[in-house]
Amino acid sequence: MSATNMNMSRIVFYEDRNFQGRSYDCSSDCADLSSYLSRCHSCRVERGCFMVYDRTNYMGNQYFMRRGEYADYMSMMGMSDCIRSCRMIPMYRGSYRMRIYERENFGGQMYEMMDDCDNIMDRYRMSNCMSCHVMDGHWLMYEQPHYRGRMMYMRPGEYRSFMNMGMGNMRFMSMRRIMDSYY
């Protein structure tokens, strides 16, 4: 196996809990797992990190999965439904930089972050984060302080309105970098 193949991300989805039933190996993004499996109730991350979603086309609730076995992730994570799509998170080994904004369209207070923040209210006296610009790195944003609650994966780019991204009135209160040590 070549060096590039050894570093490739890989997740295996199973139709039933405890790695039973038909399976599907995946090494990249997949917008609709129903093309391969009628349902998906367990998975094994063999290499890399992935975001999995409970709706097709990378929509709905998101869950971060790093290397490990998830025999019944629905009860572990409180998922109401099975996995419908997944996105591979590429390994990144550079600096991290993100600007968070109090209001939509980069309005209101702005703070630049280069490391994890377990509570934007405590650190910045900021009660809301409605948009952001990820300049460097891959990040997870959480609706509650201390990396709890629903999460959203943010890769480099401009995010002018979290409400327009199908997150409703969800607020983000903590942010964490997806580090290469997770792989």
pTM: 0.88
Task: Report pLDDT digits (tens) over 143-176.
Answer: 999 999 889 999 999 999 887 776 667 789 999 9
- Residue 83 pLDDT exceeds 80: yes
Q: How many helices (H) and strands (E) does the chain have?
A: 3, 14
Report the alpha-carbon distance of residue 4 to residue 154 in Å, rounded: 25
76: confidence class by pLDDT, cuts 50, 70, 90: low
Query: From CA 176, how far away is CA 51, in angstroms rounded?
Result: 14
- Reply yes or no on whether the pLDDT at 111 is more than 90: yes
Model confidence pLDDT, tens digit, residues 92-107: 999 999 999 999 999 9
Q: Could you give the percent of the chain with pLDDT greater than 90?
A: 67
